[in-house]
Chains A and B, each alone.
Chain A
């Protein structure tokens, strides 16, 4: 058990759909992250939230819209995606402010855009 849960685990959506990915951390951390892992590519950092404030947007297209209503929950709203957006989307959390905030990852949501 990692303490970070993600739902759904699998999602298939058309290019005109709107869907949301949900992440919840049960570790009392103050920072949360979204990563994208495409086939045969390294994990890419998408967004960083510290204390509910977005501190990093790694040039992510606007069809991906993050939301962090509190320090335990993180959403990724998806709309008008492209087939190349099919990937594993991973959420992570950490405790910022300690000397080393190792990140704890969820199991990911496998997204397929048709």
Chain B
């Protein structure tokens, strides 16, 4: 069945440093890879996504890279700021179904 593994579960970085979160997926038919951010007490919200026909996508300080051969994709946050502190989730919806399975989340702390 579908499986999405996310690492690390917690990550602390100094303000201004970069943060990288990695997810691996099991279904080779997956073709859409989103990242969601959830601030404390709030709902998850999409921050960036990538389709399988590209290897990288950037949006200001965040980027997602995809390695379809290895079945993993990563979130990169550069020049981290305190407001980046949150829980980040990856997902890998299974192509052909509408199941939308999330990773277990990464709690990012940006230390001032």
Same complex for A and B? Answer no
B residues contacting A by CB (< 8 A) are none
